[in-house]
Structure 1
C-alpha cells in the first residue's frame, strides 16, 4: 500500500531515536501498513525537511514536539501549511501538551493531541481513514491509556538503531513526586507495564545485539521488587558486555538493591541522580523532597563499594537560591565524589507549576526554546550568564573525563583556600576561560588542553615541567596520537589501544582516569 501517513520528529542529533513515535507506530493497528517513521535532526534545513516530506505526498503528518526541537518544528510546520495547506498536520509531545492554545505552532497546525497519544492518535486515524471525518476541535485530549493495553514498541528498533543509536526503554510511566520545575509533577500516579512481558522484550533486544539500554523511568528504584528483578535479569547476562542507564531516586537504596549493584562490573551501570538543590528552604519552595543524610550515605556507598558511574544533577536559578547557596550545595555534592555533576540552568517547561513563583521571586525566562531563566530575585542576568559558562566549562573539563588530573589539581588547590571551596576555585578557572574564549562552544580539545597547561603555570604556580607532566597524564587517556606541540618532546611514541566496549567513551575515560589521578 502507498504510504500516506508519516510520523515525524526532529531529533537533537542522529544518535538519538524517537521513543514516542515508535509507540505511536506500535499502536496504529490496521493503519501500520500505510505509515512510516521519519526522523530528521534539528541541524537539517527546515526547507530541506519540508521538501523531503511533501515529496511523499502525505495525507497526514504527525509531529513529535519537544523543548529541543520546538523552534525548528515550527518552521517546518509553517512551511508545510503555506505550501500544501491540504496536508493534515497533527502535533503531539510534551512541548505542545500544555498551554497549547497560546502556542503559535498549535495555531498553525490542524490538530494537537495533548498528553499520552498512544491510543488517541489511532482513534484520530481511524476516524479519518475509515469514517472520513475529522475532529470538530483543534485541541484533542483524553484519558490516560490503560498502560497494560499499550503495545510495546521495541520490535520497531531496527538493526541500524541497535548498532548506532541510543535505544530507550521504560518499565513505568509517571512520578509520585511533585517537583515544580518538572512536568512529571502533574502525574497522579506511577503506572507500570507488565514486568514479564517487558523482560521478554529486553531479551529480544539482547538477541538482536543491543548492549546499551537507557531507561527513561523517572524513578527506577521506586519499587525495590521491580528494580531488583530487572537488575538481576541484566546481571545474569552481564557477560555480554552491557551498559545500563537508570534515573534513580536519591534517597532510596535499600539493602537488596545495594547487594545487587555491588555485583556489577565497573562501568556497567550509570545512575542519574537528581539532587537539584542542597538548600532545604529552596527545596521546600519547589516541593522537592530528599532525605539529605540518606542521599549522602548512598553516594558514599556508590563511590566506595561499587563500580557505578554516578551522574548527579544540580539546577542553577531556582527561586530563592543565590550564587552563595548554589556554591555551598555544589561543594557538598562534589565532596561525595559523583563521576559527573550536571550543572543545569532552570528552564520553564510549559505547564510546570514553578510558574507560580514568577511574581514573588521575579522569575524572568527567555521567550524562545529552551526557555531558560534570565534573571531571578537572587541571581541577576549577569550572574546567570556566568553560570551558563560555568556549566559548559565544567562539562568540558570535569564531566568529560579527559582532564582527571587537571581537575584534581584544582580540587587540591581548593583544599588550601580559607573557605576550602571547590566551587569557587573552579569559578576562577571559569573566569580565566571566559576571558580567553569569546564563546564556550566549538572549542577544540587541543585548545582546552593548552588552556589547562597555561592555567597551571600562570595561575597555579606549576613549573613548566610539572605542568607538562600533568597534562600528558590526562592526554594519554584520550587515546589521541596527534600530541600538542607544546609537550611533544616528552611524548612516548607508542599509544595504548583499548578493546571495543559497550561502555560509552565518556564513561570509559572516567574509569581509565581513576587510576591515573595524581594524589
Structure 2
C-alpha cells in the first residue's frame, strides 16, 4: 500500500462503525477500507492531486449521539482543503446499531447538509425502497458484500469530483446530487432514491478472499503502539474478529447466512500468516466469524494444527462449529489441545425433531451428543438454544434445556428468535399468532404454541441460567442439582423440584423469585448465593443440608473474603490452616511463586471443613449416575485448603485450586 500517497491527501470518504461494546472491533469497515486503499493506491486512474482516500471511525451504541457526531465531524475536518468538499459517509448497519445509526444520520444532515450518506450491512441489504421513506436523509444503500461495490462507488465519487472541480485551483462547483445519483445508479448493488432506482439484484459474492488485506495491518507495527494512536488496538482488551471463509451451505430458516450459499475460502498460507500476526501481537481473543468453520476437514484441521504448533500460551481462538460435521480424525486431534487455546460455539438451537425439520436443521441429536462428549474438556464449549422456533412450546423447550445441560457445556447461550428480513422465517408474518417486534431486534413475541407470558417466563429462566450456570460461580452446587434432577427414581421424583429435570428446578426457582420481586433489579453474586440458599431451605427434601454445604464450598472458591455472610458458616481452625500450608505450600515449589511468605500465603488461601464431600462434583467429568445414597451421607469432616492465585498480567483470574487435607 502506498501509504504516503494515501495520507498526503484529504479523506472525504468515511466509513462509520457503531459497535455494541467498546472492546469490539468492526471487521467489515476495516476490510472495505484497506481493500479500497490498496486498489486506489495500486491502480489509481486519477491525478494525484484529486485522489480522495478513504478512512474509518468506530464508536459504540453506549456513547451519546452528540459524541458520535463530534467524532464524525472531527474526522471530516481533517480534510483541510482550500475549498470544502461534501464528504461521503458510509455506515455499517447491524441489528444492534440500526436505531442509533438512523438517529445519527438524521442529526448529521443538520450539521453537514451537503454530505452524501450511505448505509450497508445485513440490516439494510434486504430492505426495500421504503428505507428511503423512513430515512429521508439517506442517499444510497449498498446491498450485499461491500468491498468491490464500495471501491466502484468511491472510484465514481473521485471521478465525479474530478469532473466537477477546477484541478488547477481546486475550486469545487455546487454539488449536484441528481447528477451523482445518475453516475452511480448503474453500479450493481447500489440503490439510490432517484426515479425508483432501487435495485432488486445483488452482485455476485466476492470470490477471491486472498485479495482482501489483513484487517489489522498495524497490529504489530512499532509506530502504532502508543495508546493515543488512532490505529492502536489493545491486544488484551479488544476482541479481534477474523474470517477465513464466507458463505454457508446450510439452509437454516432463521439465519441470514442461509441466503448466501456460495462458500469461499481464504488460502491456508494467507490464514496461517494472519494467525501468526495475532499470536505475535499476543492478542487475547480472536473470534473466527466463518459461519461454519469446520466444513472441509483437511482445511480446518490444518488451521488447528498450525495454531497448536505455534501457540503463544495466551491467544484464545473462537470457532463457530457444526459439531455433527466432525470427523474421527478431527476429534482425535482435539485430544491434544491444552486449556486456553480454543473455544467452540455449537448451535444446537433445539432438540425437538419436529422443530429441527421445520427450520431445515439436521436431526442427528444422538450423533451430536456422542460428538460433543468426545470434545475434550480443555476446549471451552458454548452450546446455543433458540426459543420461539416453530413447534417449540414451553414443555419441549424445557426438554431441550435438560438435554443440553446434561452435556455439561461451559456456557448455555439461551437466545430468542429474531425474525430478520430476507430469511424464510420472515414469511411467517401472515400466519396467525406469529408476532414479533416491528423494530430491532425483531424478537419473537408469540407463536402458535408459545404465549407472550411463556416468552417472559423463558426470559427469567435465561437470567437464572446465566447466574447459576454460565457464571461458573456455582459449579459444585449446579452439578449436584443436575445429578439429583436427572436420576430416574420414584423416591426422588416424589419431590416436585425433581420431576422435570434441571429445567423444573429453574422453573420452581423462577416462581419463587417472582414472588419476591427479585427480577426487578440486577444483583451481584453474593446476593444470589443467599437467594439460592434461602430457596433450597424452603424445599422439603433430604438434600438440603448437602446442597447448603456445596454452596459454602462454591462461595469460598470465588475468592478470599474479609468476612462471611450470616448464611455461610465458617468452620475455621487457624492451626490446621497453618499445618495445611506447611505441608502443601511451603514444602512445595509454590512457595517461590505466589506464596513466598507466610503473610502472603494466608492472604491468598482459605481453610474450611465440610460435612459432605464437595470434591465429588468438583471435576467436570463427574458421573450423573453417582450413588445418591452415598452422596448425601455425612462423612468424617472433609478438610479443604483453598489456594487463590493472582491473575497474571493480561490474563483472566485463574481458578481457585483446592486441596483435600487427609492427615
The question of whether the paired residues in 2 share the 8 Å contact of 1:312 and 1:338 is answered with yes
Structure 1 residues 503, 147: closer, same or farther in 2, change over 3 A?
A: farther
Q: Aligned pair 1:102/2:130, yes or no?
A: yes
SS at match of 1:236: helix
User: Aligned to 1:64, which of 74, 92, 99?
Assistant: 92
Corresponding residue of 2:566: 486
Higher mean alpha-carbon deviation, 419-428 vs 186-195, is at: 419-428
Larger radius of gyration: 2
Corresponding residue of 1:19: 27
Q: Aligned pair 1:263/2:341, yes or no?
A: no
The question of whether the paired residues in 2 share the 8 Å contact of 1:483 and 1:491 is answered with no
The question of whether the paired residues in 2 share the 8 Å contact of 1:299 and 1:337 is answered with no
Higher relative contact order structure (alpha carbons within 8 Å, sequence separation ≥ 6) = 1
Q: Aligned pair 1:285/2:358, yes or no?
A: yes
CA RMSD of aligned residues (A): 2.8
SS at match of 1:251: helix
User: Aligned to 1:320, which of 374, 379, 391?
Assistant: 391
User: Aligned to 2:73, which of 38, 42, 54?
Assistant: 54
SS at match of 1:112: strand
Gaps of 5+ in 2: 1-8, 42-51, 78-86, 162-179, 186-190, 193-197, 220-230, 487-491, 573-601, 605-643
User: In the TM superposition, what is the alpha-carbon distance from 1:154 to its structure 2 partner?
Assistant: 3.1
The question of whether the paired residues in 2 share the 8 Å contact of 1:241 and 1:501 is answered with no
Corresponding residue of 2:550: 470
Give CA deviations for 1:117-151 in whole Å, capped at 9, x if unaligned.
01111211111123334424415643322233333
For 2:292 and 2:544, locate their aligned partners in 1 and report how far apart those are by CA, in whole Å. 48
User: In the TM superposition, what is the alpha-carbon distance from 1:449 to its structure 2 partner?
Assistant: 2.1
1:125-136 to 2 correspondence within 5 Å? 125-132=154-161, 133-134=180-181, 135-136=184-185
Q: Aligned pair 1:164/2:237, yes or no?
A: yes
User: In the TM superposition, what is the alpha-carbon distance from 1:40 to its structure 2 partner?
Assistant: 1.1
SS at match of 1:295: helix
SS at match of 1:299: helix
1:406-417 to 2 correspondence within 5 Å? 406-415=477-486, 416-417=492-493
Give CA deviations for 1:234-291 in whole Å, capped at 9, x if unaligned.
1102353331211111212212111211101134221111011111111111111242
1:85-124 to 2 correspondence within 5 Å? 85-103=113-131, 107-124=136-153
For 1:334 and 1:514, locate their aligned partners in 2 and report how far apart those are by CA, in whole Å. 25
Structure 1 residues 434, 68: closer, same or farther in 2, change over 3 A?
A: farther
Corresponding residue of 1:453: 533
For 1:463 and 1:228, locate their aligned partners in 2 and report how far apart those are by CA, in whole Å. 46
Gaps of 5+ in 1: none
Higher mean alpha-carbon deviation, 170-179 vs 421-430, is at: 421-430
The question of whether the paired residues in 2 share the 8 Å contact of 1:17 and 1:161 is answered with no
The question of whether the paired residues in 1 share the 8 Å contact of 2:254 and 2:419 is answered with yes
SS at match of 2:108: helix
- Tell me the TM-score normalised to structure 2 length: 0.72
How many residues matched? 510
User: Aligned to 1:238, which of 297, 307, 311?
Assistant: 311
For 2:324 and 2:530, locate their aligned partners in 1 and report how far apart those are by CA, in whole Å. 40
Higher mean alpha-carbon deviation, 203-212 vs 167-176, is at: 203-212
1:28-39 to 2 correspondence within 5 Å? 28-29=36-37, 34-39=53-58
Corresponding residue of 1:500: 648
Corresponding residue of 1:356: 427
For 1:488 and 1:497, locate their aligned partners in 2 and report how far apart those are by CA, in whole Å. 23
User: In the TM superposition, what is the alpha-carbon distance from 1:360 to its structure 2 partner?
Assistant: 3.6
For 2:529 and 2:213, locate their aligned partners in 1 and report how far apart those are by CA, in whole Å. 49
For 1:337 and 1:514, locate their aligned partners in 2 and report how far apart those are by CA, in whole Å. 21
- Tell me the TM-score normalised to structure 1 length: 0.90
Corresponding residue of 2:402: 331
For 1:285 and 1:471, locate their aligned partners in 2 and report how far apart those are by CA, in whole Å. 42
User: In the TM superposition, what is the alpha-carbon distance from 1:156 to its structure 2 partner?
Assistant: 4.8
SS at match of 2:430: coil
The question of whether the paired residues in 1 share the 8 Å contact of 2:315 and 2:340 is answered with no
The question of whether the paired residues in 1 share the 8 Å contact of 2:464 and 2:506 is answered with no
For 2:56 and 2:68, locate their aligned partners in 1 and report how far apart those are by CA, in whole Å. 14
Corresponding residue of 1:144: 205
For 1:485 and 1:500, locate their aligned partners in 2 and report how far apart those are by CA, in whole Å. 29
Q: Aligned pair 1:342/2:413, yes or no?
A: yes
User: In the TM superposition, what is the alpha-carbon distance from 1:489 to its structure 2 partner?
Assistant: 5.9
Give CA deviations for 1:32-73 in whole Å, capped at 9, x if unaligned.
884332211111111221233224446122111111111111
SS at match of 1:263: coil
For 1:246 and 1:463, locate their aligned partners in 2 and report how far apart those are by CA, in whole Å. 39
User: In the TM superposition, what is the alpha-carbon distance from 1:426 to its structure 2 partner?
Assistant: 1.4
User: In the TM superposition, what is the alpha-carbon distance from 1:160 to its structure 2 partner?
Assistant: 2.5
The question of whether the paired residues in 2 share the 8 Å contact of 1:9 and 1:39 is answered with yes
SS at match of 2:298: helix
User: In the TM superposition, what is the alpha-carbon distance from 1:183 to its structure 2 partner?
Assistant: 0.3
SS at match of 2:323: coil
User: In the TM superposition, what is the alpha-carbon distance from 1:75 to its structure 2 partner?
Assistant: 1.1
Specify which structure has the higher proportion of helix.
Answer: 1
Higher mean alpha-carbon deviation, 24-33 vs 396-405, is at: 24-33
Corresponding residue of 1:383: 454
For 2:267 and 2:549, locate their aligned partners in 1 and report how far apart those are by CA, in whole Å. 55
SS at match of 2:235: helix
For 2:249 and 2:15, locate their aligned partners in 1 and report how far apart those are by CA, in whole Å. 31
The question of whether the paired residues in 1 share the 8 Å contact of 2:250 and 2:261 is answered with no
Corresponding residue of 1:370: 441
User: Aligned to 1:9, which of 10, 13, 17?
Assistant: 17
For 2:352 and 2:378, locate their aligned partners in 1 and report how far apart those are by CA, in whole Å. 29
Corresponding residue of 2:102: 74
